[in-house]
Amino acid sequence: MRKTSVKPILSIQYFLYFGVLGLFLPYFNLYCYHLGFSGFEIGVLSSVRTLTTALFPLLWGALADKLFIRRPIYVLCSFISTAIWALYLLTTDFWAMFAITVFYGIFYAPIIAFLESFSMDLLGKEKNRYGQLRAWGSFGFILIVVVSGRLIDALSTEIIIVMILAGSLLHALLSTAIPQANGTRMEGFSANARTLYNRRVLVFLFCAFLMLVSHGTYYGFLSIHLENMGFSGSFIGIAWALASTAEILVMVNSERLLRRFSHEKLLIISFGAAVIRWALLYYATSASLILFSQVLHALTYGAFHVASILYMDKLTPASAKTIGQSVNNAVTYGFGIMAGFLFNGYFFEIIGAPALFAISALMAGIGGLLMALSSRTADQ
């Protein structure tokens, strides 16, 4: 299949995946909050989901590369995770939702890492155009987050479960259109996994881990924090949509950015922007300052994500691309977000969101400093 015909398929997958995420990230924790769950219980549910996101992509990725069955696993996990999500319609009990979250996470976990790996393979020599492809995910996020915010104001947070189910089902149905990517069959998992143990990879993964830990307050409790400050569901949706709009500008222009900045330099810039962003949310009480901080999402997520995917792709051999992206996703959006959710869930009711944003700024600062030192050492 020619690349020109593959790109629309991948674009639709990104649009739907992140459209569903535009429902989940801003509103699922808010839904749980309205069910009467405590901050700690919300943190636990968020963390167990990210724990499965951290662990199971590695297993799925190893299986996919070893047996060369990346596409069948992707389609299977898309359908099974959708079916499991439907069980949320049957209960509002914490422990039942905990169990559903565990099994949902097991099958939902590899989807984004596999999609990133598909993109790297199918783009071939045009990898610097990845950001333009990924921007469709941001379009989906923006559209859904704004529409759902208005629907929540008009109805209730209960519609989130049904909307996520509908979006996930559509994503699963269209996942069958993805072609089998060309790749190299693995000679052995351990031999390829050893390529991930070099210093540059380990330093990058640790710094990326800190970056996503710093996002724990944002992803886990920004919507709750804004509601507690008196902002409406529509404003919350606009705030999230503005962040995604900003990230689109970076992703669409990522090829131009990557001609000017190396992957390492773009990562360091992203860390610096995160320090500023979290510091602003520590002080912010006005709508204008909160919205301004969301513009920095262009760097803290948009630039960071594009640079991370391409940097990891550069550091891994052809026979370990799925594992490489799975490890990257596991360490960052798995263990990193999990640690951030657990920490924030425990301390949210003790010290509050503003203090947690200050700690997030410190985390991002440490990650950026280590990345800068590592980059300088590599240049010498």
CA dihedral 101, 70, 58, 369 (to 10 degrees): -100
Instruction: Tell me how crowded residue 285 is: count the other CB atoms within 10 A of its CB.
Output: 8
pLDDT in tens, the chain (380 residues): 444 467 788 889 999 999 998 888 878 888 888 888 888 888 888 878 878 877 887 788 777 767 777 788 889 999 999 999 999 999 999 999 999 999 999 999 888 888 887 787 777 667 777 777 888 888 888 888 878 877 877 777 788 899 999 999 999 999 888 876 555 454 454 555 566 667 888 899 999 999 999 998 898 888 888 888 888 878 888 888 898 888 888 888 888 888 888 888 999 999 999 999 999 999 888 899 999 999 999 999 989 988 998 888 887 776 666 677 778 878 888 788 888 888 888 888 788 888 999 999 999 999 999 999 887 765 54
- Six-digit token string for 101: 């979250």
Pick the closest to residue 127 from 258, 221, 315, 247 (CA basis).
258
- Six-digit token string for 177: 């259109």
Instruction: Tell me how crowded residue 112 is: count the other CB atoms within 10 A of its CB.
Output: 21
Cα–Cα distance for residue pair 80/106, rounded to 1 Å = 10
Q: Is residue 212 a contact partner of residue 332, using CB atoms and an 8 Å limit? A: yes
- Six-digit token string for 192: 């390829």
In one-letter notation, the amino acid at residue 239 is A
Record: fold of 7-177+195-379: Growth Hormone; Chain: A; (1.20.1250)
- Tell me the pTM: 0.72
Q: Where are the domains of the chain?
A: 7-177+195-379
Indicate the SS3 state at residue 298: helix
